Amino acid sequence: MHARVWQVRIRPGKTDDFKTALQSLFPLARQQPGYRGAVALTSGTAAAREVTVVGVWDSLDDIRASERNLFVTQAISRVLVCCDGFPQITEQEVLERDWFSGAP
């Protein structure tokens, strides 16, 4: 398994807009072969909110395929208006996991 990790700084007052944009991407992501799910983590203050989004995929090949079919371009275009600068995007291998289930 591999993960695409996005790190972004949210513009003041744009956290809810970012969350809405991110939620709009989940149905598109679920259509991508190999996509397993994502989690968005936040820290900082309302004036300097930082978000890390971890999307988990079956393989690095599946991540690459999502780039070729423009999913990543769509994702960036939806969230960029809420960000202070361009997202830092990295890919990492998942060493281990213990998934939770059920609604939060």
Compute the average pLDDT of residues 26-50: 91
User: Could you give phi then psi for residue 67, rounded to 5 degrees?
Assistant: -75, -40
Mean pLDDT (whole number) for 2-8: 96
Give the pLDDT of residue 71: 81
Domain at 2-93: CATH code: 3.30.70.100
Give the pLDDT mean for 85-92.
93
At residue 104, the pLDDT reads: 54
Domain boundaries, the chain: 2-93
Q: What order do you get walking across the sheet with 88-93 strand by strand? A: 35-45, 48-57, 2-10, 88-93
Number of Cβ within 10 Å of residue 14's Cβ equals 17
pTM, whole model, 2 decimals? Answer: 0.87
Tell me what pLDDT residue 89 has: 92
